[in-house]
Structure 1
Amino acid sequence: MLDLPYPALHASHGGVWIAHEGEVRAVGRGEAIRIAADTPTLLLNAPLVGQRLGHPELSGLDLLELFAFLRPARFMVPTPKGLARAAGIEPPASDADVAPFLRDAAEALLASIDGDWPEREGAWHAAQSLFRLRWPWAPVVGQRLDKPERAERWLFSRLPEWSEQPPRSAPRTVTLNDDAVADRLARLTGTGAERRQGQRDYAAAAARAFAPREMRDSPNLVLAEAGTGIGKTLGYLAPASLWAKEADGAVWVSTFTKALQRQLANEGERLFADPEERKRRIVTRKGRENYLCLLNLEDALQGGFAGRAAVLAQLVARWAAYSADGDMIGGDLPGWLPVLFRRNGSTALTDRRGECIYAGCPHYRKCFIERAARASVDADLVIANHALVMVNAARGRETAARPTRYVFDEGHHLFDAADAMFSAALTGQEAIELRRWITGPESGSRGRRRGLAARLSDVASYDSEGGEAIAAAVIAAQALPTDGWLQRLNEGQPFGPVESLLAAVRGLTYARAENAAEAGYGLETELAEPDGTLVEAAGPAGAALEAMVRPMVTLGRRLEAVLAEAPDWMDGAARARIEGAIASLGWRTETVGAWLSLIARIGGPADPQFVDWLAVDRVEGREYDIGLHRHWLDPSKPFAETVLKQAHGALITSATLRAGGDWELAEARSGATHLMRPAGRFEAVSPFDYANQAQVLIVTDVKRGDLPALANAYARLIVAANGGTLGLFTAIRRLRAVHARIADRLAREGLPLMAQHVDPIDTGTLVDIFRDDPRASLIGTDALRDGVDVPGESLRLVVMEGVPWPKPTVLHAARRLAGGGSAHDDRIVRARLAQAFGRLIRRADDRGTFVLLSSAMPSRLLSAFPAGTPVARVTLDEAVARVRLSLATGLRHDAPATDHEDADPGIR
């Protein structure tokens, strides 16, 4: 048995239990906190237990940390059930059984140390480091872990090196045969699979995007709306993989959500059964900020981190040695691991600041980012995301390997992704980040942060001009905000021209914002008719930025000259380093150029292509950023210019591509209207029998703004469905209020409730937990409306708190005016409703109910739901009865239609 003389503690919304010396007893929160404070305690997910006890700093021997040490890069749902599955033991039957179960689980995990488990390599070395850091598990693990007879191949010696490859030839010009596409689709779906004509037609339409291009800047663009259940993933992978094979080129498949990226990676088994071949042929790419930076990790391991952050660094090092790709965000690093440390240090382990020194890094040959970039050059399929595709097209270093064929899945998100990518923001946070990028560490700061001089002084000093440019940029950057800038602005004592500009922005925003008294919300106002204070502050701020950007441009040109002149010392690694520095300088220079355009707008004429405004960002009454913002009125225009026009062919597809509207809307939001060649159109209606598989209930007697009534409605509906509910909110404040009112009530019914923005668990892990427990429910905001794929019993009810109208921002008002007024709002709402409803029915055997808690739902928006779906306006009592009946019978509309006076004729 386990030789730990410590109690085990479990807390849920249903109660608190302690297991110790063979006894299990329920205790109060106060006693549990006292025991945990006085004695090392076995826990599962300490932050979550601490939150439920009202003691967020609770700590102990967390079994999740032990699992991360013993089985790095392995998936586990961080619940008692998931832990039991991972440890190979029986799960607890009830909440009261969890505390003694934790002791059994700890024993099962520690027992694996006595054997030769797959991740043993490096464990002894890490355990010694963790012992010095006083990790609670270190003494227990150290007692069982023998010193290896030979030296361990630890992280940096274990990781493989990538090697340089010759440039890939341009893809051959080929035309796909319709029969060959159909044969490839049949092979992917498997012998004996049901032949779906809609999927075959979809694959044939998608193949048109791979035809040879006929005109420059005019790709073969296909817009394809395929309802849920068509099988569009295999539908486009068939022609994409066939073209990649015949043309010897790479197809980039771009998604919006990480969930779809994982799904695509799993579908790769159908294309290439052999794991090694699949690894070569299918590569997942993400932005640099997603990957572990080995140089940052080395710094953390050598004393750059302290306390709990240092423990996290050791566990991340264990993971990195076994990771498939080094992806810390959505890869094989458990999403719950950084949260256990309250994300203390995890963001510093990635390259979020653009400070990479490329070939100047001692780990360059083992870099996860560089490995993925090189692997993608020779791949057949590159699985990426919309943001990375746009970044690479706009300012990527890989111009020689630029894709010619794209598939944009979740294409309804392209407009929003382009909106974020091509926007500009001169804010305090952005400015202070640029200052740090140029100057390096401020006095007294810790960490590996390097400024321009530390990164480039050796290569830039090829002549005096480069060194002088760096010095000039560093001096000019002193005009940017520094630490404490927000406090100085609040005290009316800004330092420097840019802080003075931000102070003027703050003053004018508060003067004009309509909801300034509401401390929980951010404030914004149009950049129009600026006052004298803002106009006066604009000139010095613009001059300061110009003084900074000029030496940056000079430095970039100097580095380009170094490349052109190719001195004797320049080998391939040095060239890569300089090319990376040029790209990074170009990005920052473009950023400052956009800021200068924003400043020029103050007191100057408006540009009809852009929407400009001032904002003070606040959360729970606390200001955290201030600045000027600029977005394209139509961001699909720069997307078309930088991405589509450079491609030979592209497929843009989604289940809700038209957002409940027409094809003109899809073309406008995808960038097709900015191309000379018209886009092809294809539509495939979902094969699901929505008339018998689903129902939509619009509840008419829950008054808007009545939080007790809203919470009561959620609780009653979740109980009626016996869990399995996804609740969607349009405001975090209401979500938290409802959760606080119903979590304990549901726990007494044996129905766990998890909440985004409440539980200290990342969103991906929340969905994993929800998927794993048919009696669990999950509530959240927009992030759960898309990309949540939970087929089967775990999701049988979707509840929305109200009609998801767009937030009335300055940007929305401008686009509303340009997009037809209320019709623009209706299109947005239809799209959101369609996306939310789409979470419900994912397979042919799914059954479910969609409930909207709003009597103000206009009938004109009902076209958001699939044709044939029964829709009824009902009271809450009747909605609860129908949900309960549907669970019992599997039918969706056996109950009599309501006679409520607000019911819409013909939709009951």
Structure 2
Amino acid sequence: MAASLPYPALHASHSGIWIATADGTRQVGRGEAIRIAADTPVIVLNAVLAGQRLGYADLSGLDLLELFAFLCPARFMVPTPRGLARVTGLEVPVRDDEIAAFLLRATEAMLAIPKGDWPEREGAWTSAQSLARLRWPWAPVVAEHIKMPEQHERWLFSRLPEWSEGAPRPAPRTISIDAAETQERLTRLTGSAAEQRPGQRAYAEAAIEAFEPRMVRDAPNMVLAEAGTGIGKTLGYLAPASLWAEKAGGAVWVSTFTKALQRQLAHETVRLYPQAEVRKAKVVTRKGRENYVCLLNLEDALQGGFAGRAAVLAQLVARWAGYSADGDMVGGDLPGWLPTLFRRNGPTALTDRRGECVYAGCPHYRKCFIERAARSSAEADIVIANHALVMVNAARGRETTSRPTRYVFDEGHHIFDAADAMFSTALTGQETIELRRWVVGPESGSRGRRRGLAARLSDVASYDEQGARAISDAVTAAQGLAADGWLQRLGEGAPFGPIETLLAAVRGLTYARAETEGDAGYGLETELAEPDAALIEAAGPAAHALDALVRPLVALGRRLEAVLAEAPDWLDGQARARVEGAVASLGWRAETVAAWLSLLARIGGPASPDFVDWLAVDRIEGRDYDIGLHRHWLDPSKPFAETVLKQAHGALVTSATLRGGGDWEVAEARTGAHHLIKPAARFEAVSPFDYASQAEVLIVTDVKRGDTGALANAYARLMSAAGGGTLGLFTAIRRLRAVHARIADRLARDGLSLLAQHVDPIDTGTLVDIFRDDASASLLGTDALRDGVDVPGRSLRLVVMEGVPWPKPTVLHAARRLAGGGSAYDDRIVRARLAQAFGRLIRRADDHGAFVLLSAAMPSRLLAAFPPGVPIARVTLDEAVARVSRLPSVIENGHEARDDTGGDTSGGGDEGLEMRPAP
């Protein structure tokens, strides 16, 4: 090892820093470690994280995560010594002082991969040559272990298969499915030897109604089903859904809120279709365009569009794209930790986040991952999507020929929030500058392949005089939008153009009226009521500028539709697809500008009872980063019902907390059911878990609110008492960071690792993977972890919340609170959040744990959020620590033996799915 790779290995943690060489391992101070790392390439595992712990942001070297991404693209690995040991077959290091030497052994094991049966060999040599030119630290080492291929190897763009266009799928047949068939299908999915679950069988039977024929237009068969954890609702709805798809010849769209559940659902469909090829045709996962790698952007990056470290990322992503199942960069088979190793804007530049797709004008159109997913879903039986994509497709009229007629909305308690985001309007500086770039294209000093309307539609402009004039008018009108440097000009009091003048007036009025903690670095907002003279005067010219833009956009859309109808000789299949894509994009942009005009009309005029309007200045660390006007529906379930539900024939909306701490009327209000003429069917299945013996709720009464030191002490003592396995939840990022800073070293001295969202430079999904993989680890986080973590087993045995999760008193919340019953509305939100947080704790029949709330002010009326029968006690911190220390767990020397069973032995239900590591 020392002869061929004479580099030391470095490991930095909260408990110390170690350097290992062929001569041995020694502990060093921070200064010496930084000096060594600055002078000598060092082997590390996650250089960004190690650099943060060293206080040396420029740490670089030979990162084993990058080597793994190169050698094993599209493979999963938990980015920890434990995960590295698993993929290399080495013994897991137990103590921190063993890890640096372990990294040397792991390097040898990984570099031996090319010598064996290496399934990702093709393309590696070519990629290694490109990485060598970029001076990737691993390139010289890798070159010694990869032989030059005897024949020219196919690389990314030549290896990717082309998708094929098929005939439109016929409309689904009108059929009914009966209970007996559904129960037979459920038995096949769960296994005949599985434990009988009456709740699951009743759930599957209740779900049948969503797949019955619709009798009245705009009146879908809607089923609201609240199924407690452990019922097995996933297989419960997949049984009737797959049966209907098979018999009717249609697709059922299963929509989730989180990417984690999408991934879990895809894994669960193995029960439906065990054969991989059959499953690939029958089950398709769909996400928004911004999730997939854009091959044109990637090609641009590989050909010099990226420089430095970003160019290395592009090469590693290209390696991955050649072996990826679906090209999904966010939650797919691209390791979530890979983009975090590089600068922030590198990964986003490889996806289509600006709506710049040129469709058939792209040379990689026939190999595009996005287009392949869209066409595959048209022929699939089960499409696993998400709430946002479902709403976007419905609202913007996308894929009308394959619009689904049956939906299952899992995580249905999030429909309200998803609709709130989808159907909102934001006239901000960032939004207008993006529109300007989309219309105008590259301006002076800008880089990249961004192209404006004129470049994207040059052939149309040369063919159609009216279209050319509309393009020219749109480009001219777009000059009135915000431009690069707009924030600096506003700060200097020198806005340029009508939109920047409007934003300056918004900023002035918001700063004058906002009463929140603006000086602490947080955003400011105020109602759009009683505007001052400056805002009223700025609204008119801004509206005129937007009107001058929307008119040519609409005219251009009409001209493109006319070109499609005329079908000139140059309009071949690819050109037609490109023009159709442009029509859809123009329609979306025109609708956006029209919504902005409607919002501007509100300034100085009467308020609409359907909307909540306000002004906002978004800030981070005391600096403005966006400014604008905002409009949200008071009840976003109304547009959801109009655009999605009323177009469907049936919909099942399900969740473990569907009623959100209230009654069925709350569930109907938040899912859009009360906007339908046909009442929704209701079903409830109580969790089969014995919460009385498996869990307890402890409300700590002696941690003073606002005392950060006392709060940190409480977290540290509870985590130590539990031996790790703790999910710590916060309502404010700054308190999370303050607590982490105080307890990380303290826990490390006890041999307990601490992970933290918003602190560690690791994506949330990877943080959960690490937490799941190490029973001695604890994890701190905010809302995303409260609602989206599934960690069954001993890795999560304690949930600690810093206080009652009251909603933030925003302008939008105030309006909804007033309309929703005042304090009762707040109580419903809090009960729903507590129920979701508690739901992280018990995920299967043999789980045990405690839920601790560090708030003496917890009102008794909110205790209904917890399952009936669970013991609830108000105790001191000392008593809580004593009770937590008695939690059932199997811990040896501070670490737990890993449970590798991979699933629930009963063979059915969600908990069998949820306990599996992410694929």
TM-score relative to the length of structure 2: 0.96
Shift of 1:316: 0.2
Shift of 1:69: 0.2
1:403 aligns with 404
CA contact (8 A) 1:798 1:849 kept: yes
Between 1:205-214 and 1:879-888, the stretch displaced more is: 879-888
2:14 aligned with 1:26, yes or no?
Answer: no
1:893 aligns with none
Name the CA distance, whole Å, in 2 between partners of 1:112 and 1:519: 51
CA contact (8 A) 1:736 1:758 kept: yes
Shift of 1:619: 1.1
1:53 aligns with 54
Q: Secondary structure at the match of 1:346?
A: helix
1:835 aligns with 836
Name the CA distance, whole Å, in 2 between partners of 1:631 and 1:888: 47
1:894 aligns with none
Shift of 1:259: 0.9
Q: Secondary structure at the match of 2:835?
A: helix
1:680 aligns with 681
Structure 1 segment 583-602 matched on structure 2, within 5 A: 583-602=584-603
Name the CA distance, whole Å, in 2 between partners of 1:249 and 1:515: 51
Letter in 1 for 2:859: P
Deviations 1:729-753 (A, max 9, x none): 0000000000000000000000000
Structure 1 segment 184-199 matched on structure 2, within 5 A: 184-199=185-200
2:906 aligns with none
Name the CA distance, whole Å, in 1 between partners of 2:517 and 2:526: 11
2:527 aligned with 1:526, yes or no?
Answer: yes
Name the CA distance, whole Å, in 2 between partners of 1:828 and 1:701: 25
Name the CA distance, whole Å, in 1 between partners of 2:874 and 2:463: 75
Q: Secondary structure at the match of 1:489?
A: helix
CA contact (8 A) 1:460 1:559 kept: no
Q: Secondary structure at the match of 1:426?
A: strand
Shift of 1:519: 2.9
C-alpha distance 601-690 of structure 1, shift in aligned 2 (>3 A): same
1:290 aligns with 291
Between 1:394-403 and 1:192-201, the stretch displaced more is: 394-403
Shift of 1:889: 10
Name the CA distance, whole Å, in 2 between partners of 1:270 and 1:27: 52
2:174 aligned with 1:167, yes or no?
Answer: no
Shift of 1:786: 1.2
Letter in 2 for 1:504: A
2:443 aligns with 442
Name the CA distance, whole Å, in 2 between partners of 1:672 and 1:313: 46
Q: Secondary structure at the match of 1:400?
A: helix
Structure 1 segment 350-369 matched on structure 2, within 5 A: 350-369=351-370
1:382 aligns with 383
Letter in 2 for 1:335: G
Structure 1 segment 268-417 matched on structure 2, within 5 A: 268-417=269-418
1:717 aligns with 718
Structure 1 segment 55-70 matched on structure 2, within 5 A: 55-70=56-71
2:49 aligned with 1:78, yes or no?
Answer: no
Q: Secondary structure at the match of 1:336?
A: coil
Name the CA distance, whole Å, in 1 between partners of 2:759 and 2:513: 33
Deviations 1:742-769 (A, max 9, x none): 0000000000000000000000000000
1:616 aligns with 617
2:465 aligns with 464
Name the CA distance, whole Å, in 1 between partners of 2:849 and 2:814: 36
2:761 aligns with 760
Q: Secondary structure at the match of 2:463?
A: coil
Name the CA distance, whole Å, in 2 between partners of 1:885 and 1:119: 48
Shift of 1:412: 0.1
1:904 aligns with none
Shift of 1:342: 3.1
Letter in 1 for 2:146: L
5+ residue gaps, structure 2? 892-919
2:111 aligns with 110
Name the CA distance, whole Å, in 1 between partners of 2:141 and 2:192: 52
Name the CA distance, whole Å, in 1 between partners of 2:64 and 2:418: 38
Shift of 1:460: 3.9
Structure 1 segment 780-791 matched on structure 2, within 5 A: 780-791=781-792
Name the CA distance, whole Å, in 1 between partners of 2:345 and 2:34: 23
Deviations 1:478-537 (A, max 9, x none): 111111111110110101110000000000000001135533211000000000000000
Shift of 1:76: 0.2
C-alpha distance 888-430 of structure 1, shift in aligned 2 (>3 A): closer
Q: Secondary structure at the match of 2:269?
A: helix
Structure 1 segment 390-789 matched on structure 2, within 5 A: 390-515=391-516, 517-789=518-790
Structure 1 segment 85-96 matched on structure 2, within 5 A: 85-96=86-97
Letter in 2 for 1:113: P
Q: Secondary structure at the match of 1:843?
A: coil
Letter in 2 for 1:129: S
Name the CA distance, whole Å, in 2 between partners of 1:270 and 1:213: 29
Letter in 1 for 2:416: F
Q: Secondary structure at the match of 1:742?
A: helix
Name the CA distance, whole Å, in 2 between partners of 1:852 and 1:516: 26
Deviations 1:663-691 (A, max 9, x none): 00000000001000000000000000000
Name the CA distance, whole Å, in 2 between partners of 1:344 and 1:499: 25
CA contact (8 A) 1:415 1:635 kept: yes
RMSD of aligned residue pairs (Cα, Å): 1.0
Name the CA distance, whole Å, in 1 between partners of 2:718 and 2:116: 49
CA contact (8 A) 2:44 2:103 kept: yes
CA contact (8 A) 2:518 2:524 kept: no
Name the CA distance, whole Å, in 2 between partners of 1:616 and 1:517: 9
2:901 aligns with none
Deviations 1:322-364 (A, max 9, x none): 0000000000000000000133411000000001000010000
Name the CA distance, whole Å, in 2 between partners of 1:515 and 1:697: 32
Shift of 1:116: 4.0
CA contact (8 A) 1:510 1:516 kept: no
Deviations 1:527-572 (A, max 9, x none): 0000000000000111011111111011000001111122222222
CA contact (8 A) 2:43 2:63 kept: yes
Name the CA distance, whole Å, in 1 between partners of 2:806 and 2:262: 29
Aligned residues: 890
Name the CA distance, whole Å, in 2 between partners of 1:886 and 1:128: 54
2:37 aligns with 36
Identical aligned residues as a percent:
80
Letter in 1 for 2:814: A
CA contact (8 A) 1:397 1:580 kept: no
Name the CA distance, whole Å, in 1 between partners of 2:889 and 2:607: 61
1:802 aligns with 803
Q: Secondary structure at the match of 2:519?
A: coil
Q: Secondary structure at the match of 2:761?
A: coil
CA contact (8 A) 2:661 2:828 kept: yes
Name the CA distance, whole Å, in 2 between partners of 1:644 and 1:461: 43
2:856 aligns with 855
CA contact (8 A) 1:397 1:579 kept: no
1:906 aligns with none
Q: Secondary structure at the match of 1:161?
A: coil
Between 1:240-249 and 1:138-147, the stretch displaced more is: 138-147
Shift of 1:400: 0.4
Deviations 1:409-434 (A, max 9, x none): 00000000000000000000001111
* Runs of 4+, deviation exceeding 4 Å: none
C-alpha distance 517-370 of structure 1, shift in aligned 2 (>3 A): closer
Shift of 1:888: 6.5
Name the CA distance, whole Å, in 2 between partners of 1:369 and 1:889: 46
1:210 aligns with 211
CA contact (8 A) 1:837 1:850 kept: yes
Name the CA distance, whole Å, in 2 between partners of 1:488 and 1:686: 58
2:819 aligns with 818
Name the CA distance, whole Å, in 2 between partners of 1:485 and 1:619: 17
CA contact (8 A) 2:7 2:40 kept: yes
CA contact (8 A) 2:727 2:799 kept: yes
Between 1:583-592 and 1:16-25, the stretch displaced more is: 16-25
Between 1:236-245 and 1:616-625, the stretch displaced more is: 616-625
Letter in 1 for 2:319: R
C-alpha distance 844-888 of structure 1, shift in aligned 2 (>3 A): closer
Q: Secondary structure at the match of 1:793?
A: coil
